[in-house]
């Protein structure tokens, strides 16, 4: 499933989500099914082609995946929005399950009008 999240004149954020089901044989020959979602968030700005801003494969966002996503997002916006890192450290922005709040912060505080 492909979904447009933010389509502002300054930037676009889209997500591609797929659901993966895997069957495996567990203890005592019982069949178990693991269902996990894959999320790929694509950002397009500054006239460049879309690139992955955040991605994970998980049933829920784990601590390590969350930390890696935040690190990459802050690195991506390092020169474009320098106060974003401080806003994250001061709990003004949270990463719950997507980079949408970071994009909102950028649009409200750092993008040129």
* CB-CB contact of 105 with 85 (8 Å): no
Q: Among residues 76, 113, 98, 102, which one has the least CA distance to residue 17?
A: 98
DSSP string, 63-100: HHHHHHHHHHHHHHTTTT-THHHHHHHTTSS--SSSSH
Given a cut of 90, whether residue 84 has pLDDT beyond it is yes
What is the pLDDT at residue 100? Answer: 92
pLDDT digits (tens, 9 = 90+) for 8-65: 888 999 998 887 766 666 556 666 666 677 888 999 998 889 999 988 766 655 667 7
Q: Is the pLDDT higher at 34 or at 105? A: 105
What is the pLDDT at residue 106? Answer: 95
Q: State the pLDDT confidence band at 73, using cuts at 50, 70 and 90.
A: very high
The pTM (predicted TM-score) of the whole model is 0.77
């Amino acid at each position: 499933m492909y979904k447009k999240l933010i389509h502002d004149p300054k930037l676009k954020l889209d997500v591609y989500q797929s659901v993966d089901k895997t069957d495996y044989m567990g203890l005592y020959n019982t069949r178990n099914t693991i269902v996990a979602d894959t999320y790929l968030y694509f950002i397009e700005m500054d006239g460049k082609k879309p690139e992955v801003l955040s991605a994970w494969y998980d049933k829920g966002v784990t601590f390590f995946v969350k930390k890696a996503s935040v690190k990459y997002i802050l690195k991506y916006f390092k020169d474009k929005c320098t106060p974003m890192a401080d806003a994250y450290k001061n709990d003004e922005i949270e990463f719950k399950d997507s980079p949408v709040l970071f994009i909102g912060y950028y649009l409200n505080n750092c993008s040129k009008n």
